[in-house]
Amino acid sequence: MVDVAIIGGGAAGLAAAISAGDHIVDLHQAVRICLLDGARTLGAKILVSGGGRCNVTHDVVTPKDFFGNRHIVRNVLAAFSVEQTIAWFTSFGVELKREETGKMFPTTDKARTVLNALLARARDSGVTLCPDHRVTEITRSESGFEIQHNSGVLHAARLILATGGRSLPKTGSDGFGYRLARSFGHHVTSTVPALVPLVLDRSMFHATLSGLSHDVELTTLVDGREVDQRTGSLLWTHFGISGPVVMDASRFWTLATNRGTRVDLYGHFVPGRSADELKDWFVRQTVEHPKRSLVRTLSLLVPDRFAESLCGSCSCDPLKILAQVSRTDRNRLLSALTRFRFPVEGHRGWNFAEVTAGGVPLEEIDYRTMESKLTSGLYLAGELLDCDGRIGGFNFQWAWTTGWLAGRSAARSLLAEDALPRSL
Ligand SMILES: Cc1cc2nc3c(=O)[nH]c(=O)nc-3n(C[C@H](O)[C@H](O)[C@H](O)COP(=O)(O)OP(=O)(O)OC[C@H]3O[C@@H](n4cnc5c(N)ncnc54)[C@H](O)[C@@H]3O)c2cc1C
- Are 409 and 370 in contact, with CB atoms under 8 Å apart? yes
Q: Tell me which of 323, 348, 373 is where a domain ends.
A: 348
Residues 42 and 121 in one domain: yes
pLDDT of residue 26: 64
Across residues 396-421, what is the average pLDDT?
A: 87
- Asked if pLDDT for residue 422 goes beyond 60, the answer is no
Distances in Å between the Cα of 163 and the Cα atoms of 39, 109, 146, 173, 393 are 11, 26, 17, 6, 19
CB count within 10 Å of CB 195 equals 24
- Counted domains in the chain: 2
CA dihedral over 156, 162, 167, 172, signed as positive or negative: negative
Considering the domain boundaries, does residue 93 fall inside one? yes
Residues 142 and 124 in one domain: yes
Residues 329 and 238 in one domain: yes
| Atom of ligand 1 minimally distant from the CA of 14 | 25
Residues 180 and 145 in one domain: yes
Residues 356 and 292 in one domain: no
Considering the domain boundaries, does residue 423 fall inside one? no
Considering the domain boundaries, does residue 380 fall inside one? yes
Please give the Cα distance from 186 to 332 (Å, whole number). 52
Residues 59 and 102 in one domain: yes
pLDDT of residue 36: 98
Residues 337 and 361 in one domain: no
Considering the domain boundaries, does residue 328 fall inside one? yes
- At residue 399, what is the residue type? A
In sequence order, the β-bridge partners of residue 320 are none
- Asked if pLDDT for residue 81 goes beyond 60, the answer is yes
DSSP run (H or E) holding 73? helix 70-79
| Atom of ligand 1 minimally distant from the CA of 397 | 11
| 75-105 CB burial, b ≥16 within 10 A, e <16 | ebbebbebeebbebbeeeebebeeeeeebbb
pLDDT of residue 272: 94
- Asked if pLDDT for residue 96 goes beyond 50, the answer is yes
Residue 233 Cα to ligand 1 midpoint, Å, equals: 25
Please give the Cα distance from 354 to 248 (Å, whole number). 10
| Atom of ligand 1 minimally distant from the CA of 383 | 26
pLDDT of residue 23: 86
Q: What is the average pLDDT value for the chain, to the nearest integer? A: 95
CB count within 10 Å of CB 107 equals 10
Across residues 124-128, what is the average pLDDT?
A: 93
> Per-residue pLDDT tens for 4-40?
999 999 999 999 999 999 987 766 667 799 999 999 9
Categorize the per-residue pLDDT at 107 as very low, low, confident or very high, splitting at 50, 70 and 90.
very high
CB count within 10 Å of CB 184 equals 19
Residues 6 and 132 in one domain: yes
- Asked if pLDDT for residue 50 goes beyond 90, the answer is yes
Q: Tell me which of 315, 348, 381 is where a domain ends.
A: 348
Residue 173 Cα to ligand 1 midpoint, Å, equals: 7
DSSP state for residue 351 in the 8-state scheme: T
CA dihedral over 48, 52, 56, 61, signed as positive or negative: negative
Please give the Cα distance from 402 to 263 (Å, whole number). 32
Instruction: Kindly state the percentage of the chain with pLDDT values over 90.
Output: 94
CA angle 346–355–225, rounded 5-degree value: 55
pLDDT of residue 143: 87
| 390-411 CB burial, b ≥16 within 10 A, e <16 | bbbbbbbbbbbbbbbbbbbbbb
Residues 73 and 178 in one domain: yes
| Atom of ligand 1 minimally distant from the CA of 15 | 25
pLDDT of residue 416: 73
> Per-residue pLDDT tens for 348-365?
999 999 999 999 999 999
Considering the domain boundaries, does residue 424 fall inside one? no
Instruction: Name residues contacting ligand 1 (CB within 6 A).
Output: 7-13, 36-39, 45, 48-50, 54-55, 134-135, 162-164, 167-168, 171-173, 176-177, 354-355, 382-383, 393-396, 399
Residues 183 and 74 in one domain: yes
pLDDT of residue 421: 47
Q: Tell me which of 293, 317, 348 is where a domain ends.
A: 348
pLDDT of residue 30: 72
Residues 155 and 181 in one domain: yes
CATH of the domain at 136: 3.50.50.60
- Asked if pLDDT for residue 144 goes beyond 60, the answer is yes
How far is C-alpha 52 from the chain's CA centre? 15
> Per-residue pLDDT tens for 216-226?
999 999 999 99
> Per-residue pLDDT tens for 208-262?
999 999 999 999 999 999 999 999 999 999 999 999 999 999 999 999 999 999 9
Considering the domain boundaries, does residue 422 fall inside one? no
Considering the domain boundaries, does residue 134 fall inside one? yes
pLDDT of residue 424: 32
Considering the domain boundaries, does residue 421 fall inside one? no
pLDDT of residue 29: 66
Residues 160 and 215 in one domain: no
Across residues 361-374, what is the average pLDDT?
A: 98
Categorize the per-residue pLDDT at 423 as very low, low, confident or very high, splitting at 50, 70 and 90.
very low
Residue 263 Cα to ligand 1 midpoint, Å, equals: 28
For a pocket test of ligand 1, which of 36, 37, 45 has the largest count of ligand atoms closer than 8 A to its C-beta? 45
Residue 11 Cα to ligand 1 midpoint, Å, equals: 6
Residue 116 Cα to ligand 1 midpoint, Å, equals: 16
Instruction: Kindly state the percentage of the chain with pLDDT values over 70.
Output: 97
**Residues spanned by the domain of 330:** 197-348
